[in-house]
Amino acid sequence: MKRGWLLIPCRHAHELLSERMDKPLGRGDRFRLWLHLMVCDMCSRVERQMDFMRRAMRRLSD
Amino acid sequence: MDAESLHATLGGLRPTLLRIARLQLRNDAWAEDAVSEALLAALEGAAGYGGQSQVKTWVVGILKHKIIDQFRRNGREVSVEAQVEAAGVESLDELYHPDGHRYQPPTEWGDPEASLSRGQFFEVLQACVDRLPANMGRIFMMREWLEYETDQICKELAITPTNCFVMLHRARMRLRECLEMNWFATERGA
């Protein structure tokens, strides 16, 4: 399968994970990210860590 | 809380507030202004403070608004600097193989929620944010702490959305690395 269309490397998945925190992703990106997270434990871990960092930042200097 | 002890508490918070404002605004005069305005507003609004949260949380909440006011007032001056720096930030190449896979897999953070109840964790988090390049740190704080939408950040700082997303992404990846190294990989975070 042609790389870059459906299968994305971790680096690109991380970019999409971050972008998703700032704006809604388009359908294609949403699907590619979903597919990547299904098979990549490392990036699923990063996904949870990004969520956690957001919650932590909102409580900074409370 | 009576007026006298509120005065004392607010006075005690001033250095902390100033530090927060300086970090965000990167300009001593604007930071002083924001803090003075926040303290004044706190004194005037003391009747409205029902003691439902800590005084510090309440005043920091006011300060956030005053920082945003300062951005509005000084937006133009901030923006030029942001663009210059954005052009010069290095990429995240050191984290990835050329094929886009990571050199070092991210480690498991265990139960990060437990960290949220520990003051020491927030010191490490603050130190990691402080370590970001100045404007990257500012954009990140606007997004995650002042809770601006990205289009508001673009407008206030006059940067392109692409630039903004890139800066935020880099800030998050750096912060992730920093927390992993300085908290979760140590026994403090375990």
User: What is the C-alpha separation between A8 and A59, in angstroms, rounded?
Assistant: 33
Residues of B in contact with A9 (CB under 8 A): 96, 99-101
pLDDT at B76 exceeding the cut of 80: no
DSSP bridge partners of A3: A7
| CA B49 centroid distance within chain | 24
Q: Provide the pLDDT for residue B88.
A: 45
Confidence of residue B1 (pLDDT cuts 50, 70, 90): low
Determine, for residues B165 and A52 on separate chains, whether the beta-carbon distance falls below 8 Å: no
* Mean residue pLDDT across chain B: 82
Determine, for residues A58 and B143 on separate chains, whether the beta-carbon distance falls below 8 Å: no
User: What is the C-alpha separation between B176 and B159, in angstroms, rounded?
Assistant: 24
pLDDT at A56 exceeding the cut of 90: yes
- Min Cα distance A3 → chain B (Å) is 11
Q: Provide the pLDDT for residue B104.
A: 76
User: What is the C-alpha separation between B87 and B12, in angstroms, rounded?
Assistant: 40
Closest-approach residue (CA) in chain B for A20 = B165
Mean pLDDT of B46-57: 74
Q: Provide the pLDDT for residue A54.
A: 96
CB under 8 A, 24+ apart: contacts of A22-25: A22/B143, A22/B150, A22/B164, A22/B165, A22/B168, A23/B150, A23/B165
Confidence of residue A2 (pLDDT cuts 50, 70, 90): very low
SS3 at position B102 = strand
Q: Residue B74: name the closest of B66, B83, B84 by CA.
A: B66
Mean pLDDT of B18-24: 85
Q: Provide the pLDDT for residue B20.
A: 84
Q: Mind listing the pLDDT tens digit for each residue in B112-121?
A: 888 998 889 9
Q: Mind listing the pLDDT tens digit for each residue in B110-164?
A: 888 889 988 899 989 989 998 888 888 889 999 999 899 999 888 888 888 988 9
Q: Mind listing the pLDDT tens digit for each residue in B84-100?
A: 455 444 567 777 777 77
The token pair at A45 is 């871990």
Mean pLDDT of B36-52: 82
pTM of the model: 0.78
The alpha-carbon radius of gyration of chain B (Å, integer) is 19
What percentage of chain B reaches a pLDDT higher than 90?
A: 26
The token pair at B100 is 């886009």
User: What dihedral angle (degrees, nearest 10) is formed by the CA atoms of B8, B11, B13, B14?
Assistant: 180
Q: Provide the pLDDT for residue B95.
A: 75
If you count residue pairs, one on A and one on B, with CB atoms under 8 Å apart, how many are there? 90
Closest-approach residue (CA) in chain A for B121 = A56
**Comparing B61 with A50, which gets the higher pLDDT?**
A50
Q: Identity (one letter) of the amino acid at B101?
A: H
- Tell how many helices (H) and how many strands (E) occur in chain B: 7, 0
